[in-house]
């Protein structure tokens, strides 16, 4: 059997990879796989961080919309305070563990008297990270009870409203980690009222995002006394 140049060429084509070549290939593939894993991991972390930020942003905007909706149409704000605070005799003092709250006259049926069914309380439920709206329906037997401004200017008044058997509760915002509410008078005018707020928003265990705002009452005035 003769071995010519063509046969030698075919034998060269059939030669497999050497051990050194295979080892180098495995090392290169391992390096590439490790780099890809790092890139994918970094992209995943960035994606989750972006989702957390977006969720906090949505929670804050939803809470702000609810506050603006309720307070801009309100007539009078009796008291407002933040987390770990209470209001007594017109003075804001520390109160560990309590949630921020706003007690206000939400609407007027035209008689300029503050009836129970026209009063509302927004409270920060710290244990559930929610904002709760407390109010008595117009169909309740005590709905027409008339209140004076002095019945809505302390934290004890908010507690009394919550304790009523006829009160109804509604969650208006979620993922609210902290809340601070301050009653103010824009321009120093006593007849003008507003509520400044700052809320820490975001899911538990995630960095919160603070939502700031000022809800000014469009037609505020003091109710008539009973």
Q: Which of 9-13, 127-131, 165-169, 212-216 has the lowest mean pLDDT?
A: 9-13
pLDDT category at 25 given cuts 50, 70, 90 is confident
pLDDT in tens, 56-66: 778 889 999 99
- Ramachandran sector of residue 205 (left: φ over 0; alpha: ψ -120 to 50; beta: rest): left
Going by C-alpha positions, the residue among 215, 171, 178 that lies closest to residue 198 is: 178
What pLDDT does residue 153 have? 94
Q: Which helix (H) or strand (E) holds 181?
A: strand 176-184
Dihedral over Cα of 144, 149, 152, 156: its sign:
negative
What pLDDT does residue 126 have? 96
What pLDDT does residue 218 have? 87
Cα distances (angstroms) measured from residue 221 to each of 11, 66, 101, 145, 151? 102, 22, 20, 19, 16
pLDDT category at 175 given cuts 50, 70, 90 is very high
pLDDT category at 203 given cuts 50, 70, 90 is confident
11 compared with 93, residue with greater pLDDT? 93
50 compared with 56, residue with greater pLDDT? 56
Q: Which of 80-89, 138-147, 197-206 has the lowest mean pLDDT?
A: 197-206
pLDDT category at 85 given cuts 50, 70, 90 is very high
Residues in contact with 200: Cβ distance below 8 Å, sequence separation at least 6, in sequence order: 176, 177, 178, 179, 208, 209, 210
pLDDT in tens, 100-112: 999 999 999 999 9
Rg (CA), the chain: 32
Is residue 103 within 8 Å of residue 74, measured between CB atoms? no
3-state DSSP call for residue 220? coil
Going by C-alpha positions, the residue among 172, 213, 210 that lies closest to residue 53 is: 210
**What does the alpha-carbon distance between residue 181 and residue 78 come to, in Å, rounded to a whole number?**
12
Q: How large a percentage of the chain has pLDDT more than 70?
A: 81
End-to-end CA distance of the chain: 125
**What does the alpha-carbon distance between residue 23 and residue 4 come to, in Å, rounded to a whole number?**
34
**What does the alpha-carbon distance between residue 78 and residue 23 come to, in Å, rounded to a whole number?**
79
Report residue 78 as tokens.
Answer: 């009796």
**Paired strand residues for 22:** none
| Alpha-carbon 6 to chain mean position | 79
pLDDT category at 220 given cuts 50, 70, 90 is confident
pLDDT in tens, 106-146: 999 999 999 999 999 999 999 999 999 999 999 999 999 99
Average pLDDT, the chain: 86
Going by C-alpha positions, the residue among 84, 83, 78, 109 that lies closest to residue 96 is: 84
224 compared with 27, residue with greater pLDDT? 224
Q: What is the pTM of this model?
A: 0.77
- Residue-range domain boundaries for the chain: 46-216
């Amino acid at each position: 059997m003769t071995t010519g140049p063509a046969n030698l060429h075919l034998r060269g084509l059939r030669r497999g990879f050497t051990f050194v070549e295979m080892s180098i290939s495995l090392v290169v593939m391992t390096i590439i796989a490790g780099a890809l894993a790092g890139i994918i991991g970094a992209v995943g972390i960035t994606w989750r961080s972006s989702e957390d930020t977006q969720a906090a942003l949505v929670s804050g905007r939803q809470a702000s919309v609810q506050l603006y909706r309720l307070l801009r149409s309100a007539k009078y704000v009796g008291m407002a305070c933040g987390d770990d605070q209470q209001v007594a005799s017109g003075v804001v003092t520390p109160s560990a563990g309590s949630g921020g709250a706003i007690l206000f006259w939400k609407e007027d049926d035209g008689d300029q008297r503050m009836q129970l069914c026209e009063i509302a309380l927004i409270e920060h439920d710290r244990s559930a990270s929610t904002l709760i709206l407390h109010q008595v329906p117009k169909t309740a037997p005590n709905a027409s009870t008339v209140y004076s401004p002095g019945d809505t200017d302390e934290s004890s008044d908010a507690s009394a409203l919550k304790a009523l058997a006829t009160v109804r509760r509604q969650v208006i915002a979620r993922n609210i980690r902290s809340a601070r509410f301050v009653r103010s008078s824009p321009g120093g005018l006593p007849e003008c009222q507003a509520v400044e707020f700052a809320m820490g928003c975001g899911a538990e265990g995630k960095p919160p995002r603070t939502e700031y705002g000022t809800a000014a009452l469009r037609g505020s005035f003091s109710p008539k006394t009973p």
